[in-house]
């Protein structure tokens, strides 16, 4: 981003964050479902799931982090849809600002609010018994991977935010993403799944991302998981930015 774009994005980001601070229910709601999953799986299903020698909450947390991100991006689509419906985006476009700063401000707002929700979820997991001996470098790697995933999914959420005809349609985009972790290694080892389901679970992006985060937090060998996770997130991010930008241009052509 050039200097002009950075300055304009910073101003619009401040506006979006002020809206979030004035309505903290967004962050609360984003964290509420993942926390409910934590409680449900740890206290209800955890005793029936064999996740190896580690405590189940340690196994579970990386998948719940992905659910937290998927839940949060629905609000990006919602906020962008509302700005479109209220004519705010057109008003911004009439000003001498970088055109893409409108989208970048929404995307970065999602990153900030999702990071806060993730911190809340990790705090609850610690209260439930989660422990990690990972060092600072490993935690930074986890944070970087989760930020990359958040960026990729948020840019995807920009598309329904620009094109949906109703607010429900804009927000519904995230629902399949919320349930995709259930068909991965997020909650149970893939080895326990029947053949076709296992094949899908082992070759979808959530499994690679969850396994990479889990290995980093457990200080276990990463194998190819981190490289595969980065490839999925990086490729999705590149495609999403191109598609969202093209949609934005067509919308105001």
Q: Which of 11-20, 48-57, 170-179, 231-240 is predicted with the least confidence, judged by mean pLDDT? A: 48-57
Residue 1 in this model has a pLDDT that exceeds 60: no
Record the pTM: 0.88
Measuring CA to CA, which residue among 172, 239, 171 is closest to residue 205? 239
Q: What is the spatial distance between Cα 119 and Cα 108, in angstroms, rounded to a whole number?
A: 17
pLDDT digits (tens, 9 = 90+) for 91-124: 777 776 777 788 888 899 889 989 988 999 999 9
Structure confidence at residue 51 (pLDDT): 64
Return all residues near 103 (Cβ < 8 A) that are at least 6 apart.
80, 158, 244, 245, 248
Return all residues near 101 (Cβ < 8 A) that are at least 6 apart.
5, 8, 9, 11, 12
Query: What 8-state DSSP symbol labels residue 95?
Result: S
Are 61 and 130 a contacting pair, CB within 8 Å? yes
């Amino acid at each position: 981003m050039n200097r002009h774009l950075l300055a304009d994005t910073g101003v619009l980001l401040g506006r979006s964050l002020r809206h979030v601070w004035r309505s903290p229910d967004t962050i609360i709601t984003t964290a509420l479902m993942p926390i409910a999953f934590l409680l449900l799986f740890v206290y209800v299903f955890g005793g029936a799931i064999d996740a190896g020698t580690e405590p189940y909450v340690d196994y579970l947390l990386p998948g719940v982090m992905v659910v937290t991100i998927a839940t949060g991006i629905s609000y990006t689509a919602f906020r962008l849809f509302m700005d479109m419906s209220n004519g705010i985006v057109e008003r911004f476009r009439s000003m001498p600002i970088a055109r893409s700063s409108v989208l970048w401000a929404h995307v970065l707002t999602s990153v900030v609010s999702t990071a806060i929700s993730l911190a809340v979820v990790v705090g609850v997991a610690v209260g439930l018994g989660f422990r990690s001996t990972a060092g600072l470098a490993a935690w930074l790697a986890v944070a970087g991977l989760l930020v990359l995933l958040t960026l990729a999914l948020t840019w995807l959420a920009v598309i329904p935010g620009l094109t949906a005809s109703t607010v429900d349609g804009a927000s519904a985009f995230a629902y399949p993403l919320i349930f995709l972790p259930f068909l991965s290694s997020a909650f149970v080892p893939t080895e326990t799944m029947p053949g076709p389901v296992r094949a899908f679970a082992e070759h979808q992006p959530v499994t690679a991302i969850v396994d990479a985060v889990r290995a980093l937090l457990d200080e276990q060998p990463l194998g190819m998981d981190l490289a595969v996770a980065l490839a999925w997130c990086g490729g999705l991010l590149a495609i999403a930015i191109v598609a969202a930008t093209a949609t934005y241009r067509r919308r105001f052509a």
